[in-house]
């Protein structure tokens, strides 16, 4: 059992931060009402788990604010039969939300310490439809492509071509793109050889490092 204050705080998060800001997808709202966000945050920060803010998880990485997780997931339009690629596992909170909605989630994280921690927590929560890879996320996971949906949880200077190539025809990709201090969250729909880009909201994420992202020298 979790402390009553966490359960109450999670209900308030859904009502005050998500519904009140026009998150309407009932499946997304239900998933975020059920998943214990505090389990994905280092213990010294758990009292802040359900506040409307990003929180540090170590290694210069963060867990996104609840509203941004909900918005990105809603825009991704995840359905039960779909296969989703997530770039940037972190501690696994966004992964858990996707796993509640999709048939399978394939998640890539470049930092072993984060991936292993996420694997532990997600297994404890009984989310077993997730496949993990520790690698350069900007290159995707070609062995399991194509993917119906792709979600990127860090900011890229431009669209990684590997991810576009691994997106199924008719698929959706949600990704923050732009310079470090002026990113735009984009939804990209693939239609044959055409890409339709829809700007969603201004945002600021940690950098997406890798061969088709930011260079390590930009850290």
Annotated domain spans of the chain: 57-209
Residue 62's pLDDT is 87
Cα atoms found within 13 Å of the Cα of residue 93, Cβ hemisphere only = 28
CA 204 to each of CA 8, 18, 62, 181: distance values in angstroms, whole numbers, following the listed order? 29, 19, 11, 6
Q: Which of 64, 162, 191, 215 is catalytic?
A: 64
| 43 vs 196 pLDDT, higher one | 196
pLDDT bracket for residue 181 (50, 70, 90)? confident
What pLDDT, in 10s, does the model give residues 62-82? 899 999 999 999 999 999 999
* pTM metric for this prediction: 0.95
Window from 55-59, 83-87, 149-153 with minimum mean pLDDT: 55-59
Q: Does pLDDT of 186 surpass 70?
A: yes
**What is the CATH T-level fold of the domain 57-209, as seen in this structure?**
Rossmann fold (3.40.50)
Residue 118's pLDDT is 96
Q: Does pLDDT of 104 surpass 60?
A: yes
Burial of 3 (0-12, 13-18, 19+ CB in 10 A): exposed
Residue 58's pLDDT is 86
CA proximity to 36, closest of 12, 7, 8, 16: 7
Residue 172's pLDDT is 98
Identify the three-state secondary structure at position 88. Answer: coil
Q: Does pLDDT of 1 surpass 50?
A: no
55: β partners = 63
Beta strand segments in 33-112, E: 55-58, 61-63, 83-87, 104-109
Strand 183-191, strand 61-63: pairing: unpaired
Q: Does pLDDT of 55 surpass 50?
A: yes
Q: Evaluate whether 129 touches 152 at the Cβ level (below 8 Å).
A: no
64 counts as catalytic: yes
CA 17 to each of CA 13, 69, 136, 209: distance values in angstroms, whole numbers, following the listed order? 5, 11, 33, 30
Name the packing angle between helices 93-101 and 66-76 (round to 10°). Answer: 30
What pLDDT, in 10s, does the model give residues 160-171? 999 999 999 999
Residue 147 and residue 133: Cα distance in Å, rounded? 15
Q: Evaluate whether 11 touches 19 at the Cβ level (below 8 Å).
A: no
| 36 vs 4 pLDDT, higher one | 36
Mean pLDDT in residue range 32-49: 93
What residues contact residue 214 under an 8 Å CB cut-off, 6+ apart?
156, 157, 207, 208
CA 106 to each of CA 103, 122, 151, 158, 198: distance values in angstroms, whole numbers, following the listed order? 10, 13, 10, 22, 24
């Amino acid at each position: 059992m979790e402390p009553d204050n966490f359960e109450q705080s999670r209900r308030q998060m859904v009502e005050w931060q998500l519904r009140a800001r026009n998150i309407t997808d009932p499946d997304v709202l239900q998933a975020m009402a059920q998943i214990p966000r505090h389990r994905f945050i280092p213990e010294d920060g758990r009292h802040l788990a359900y506040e409307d803010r990003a929180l540090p998880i170590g290694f210069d990485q963060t867990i996104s604010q609840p509203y941004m997780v909900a918005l990105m997931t809603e825009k991704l339009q995840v359905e039960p039969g779909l296969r989703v690629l997530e770039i940037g596992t972190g501690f696994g909170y966004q992964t858990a939300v996707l796993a509640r909605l999709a048939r399978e989630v394939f998640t890539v994280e470049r930092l072993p310490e984060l991936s292993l921690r996420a694997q532990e927590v997600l297994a404890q929560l009984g989310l077993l439809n997730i496949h993990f890879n520790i690698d350069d996320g900007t290159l995707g996971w070609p062995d399991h492509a194509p993917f119906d949906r792709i979600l990127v949880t860090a900011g890229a200077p431009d669209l990684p071509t590997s991810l576009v190539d691994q997106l199924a025809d008719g698929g959706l990709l949600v990704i923050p793109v732009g310079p470090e201090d002026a990113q735009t969250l984009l939804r990209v729909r693939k239609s044959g050889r055409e890409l339709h880009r829809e700007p969603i909201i201004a945002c600021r994420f940690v950098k997406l490092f890798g061969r088709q992202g930011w260079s390590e020298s930009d850290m």
